Copies of this chain bind each other. A is one copy, B any other.
Amino acid sequence: MNERELGRVGAFSDGVFAVAITLLVLDIHRPGDFSQLPQSLLDLWPSYLAYVTSFVSIGTFWMHHHYVFGLLGRIDWVFMGLNILILMFIAFMPFPTAVLAQSLGSGEGREAATVFYAVVLCATSVVTNAAWQYAARGRRLVSPNAPADEIRMTSQTYLIGPVGYLIAAAVAFFSPWTAIAICGALVLLYVLPTSHWLAERGTAPREEN
C-alpha cells in the first residue's frame, strides 16, 4: 500500500514536472522575419538562455524530488499538501521564464524580471525545504533503512537553496546577469558536488536490497 501510494504521488509529481519542463519551449516564439533567418534565430539567444536555465533548474529540482522520494518509506496527507505546493511553483516556472526571456531580449525591465525569476525559484526552494523538513523531523516519513547521516547532510544541503536564491534576487536589483549566474551556480551546486556523494550510494550495499 505504502509503496503504491508513494508510487502514485511520485508519478503525478513526475507528470507535473514533465509538463512544466516541456511547456518552457512554448515561450520561444518563431521569429517574425524569415528572410534573414540565420540572424533571426541567433537573435533569440535570450529565449534559449532562459530555456536552458529554467530547464536545468526544474530538472535539478526534479532530481532532488526523486532523491527525496527514494529516502521516504511512507507518505501522509500533510506531505501530499506540501507536495501540491511544490508543484504549484514548479508549474508556474514557464511564466517567469517567459518574462525573463522577453526582458533580456528587449532590454526593458531586466532587473524586475530577474528579481521576479529569482523570487519564484526562492519560493520553490523554500517549499521544497519545508516538505523535506516535515518528512525528516523525527524521521516522520523517512524509510527505516535510510542512514541518519545522509538525512542530516540532506537537511543541511537543502538550506543553501533558499538563501542562495534570496541572494540572487537581491543582486538582481543591481545586476541581472550576476543574478542569473548565481542561479546557474546553484544548479551546479546541487548537481555536481552532491554528485560524488550521491554516486557512492549507487554502489553502496544498501542499494542492493
A residues at B contact (CB < 8 Å):
1-2, 4-5, 7-12, 14-26, 28, 30-31, 34-38, 40-41, 51-52, 55-56, 59-60, 62-63, 66, 69-70, 74-78, 80-81, 84, 87-88, 91-95, 98-99, 102-103, 106, 108-109, 112-113, 116, 191, 194-195, 198-199, 202, 207-209
Contacts and interface: CB of A to CB of B under 8 A. Distances in A.
Nearest to A79: B202
A18 B21 contact: no
B15 A77 contact: no
Nearest to A69: B8
Given A8-B66, A78-B199, 9 more contacts: A1-B209, A9-B66, A12-B14, A16-B18, A18-B18, A30-B95, A37-B113, A77-B194, A77-B199
A209 B1 CA distance: 7
Nearest to A28: B95
Contacts of A14: 8, 11-12, 15, 18
- Majority DSSP secondary structure for residues of A touching B: helix
A52 B92 CA distance: 10
Contacts of A209: 1
A55 B20 CA distance: 13
Contacts of A22: 15-16, 19-20, 23, 91
B34 A59 contact: no
Nearest to A67: B77
A166 to B, nearest CB: 18
A91 B55 contact: yes
Contacts of A74: 202, 207
Contact of A94 (B5, B17, B26, B102): B26
Given A55-B88, A99-B41, A17 B24 contact: no
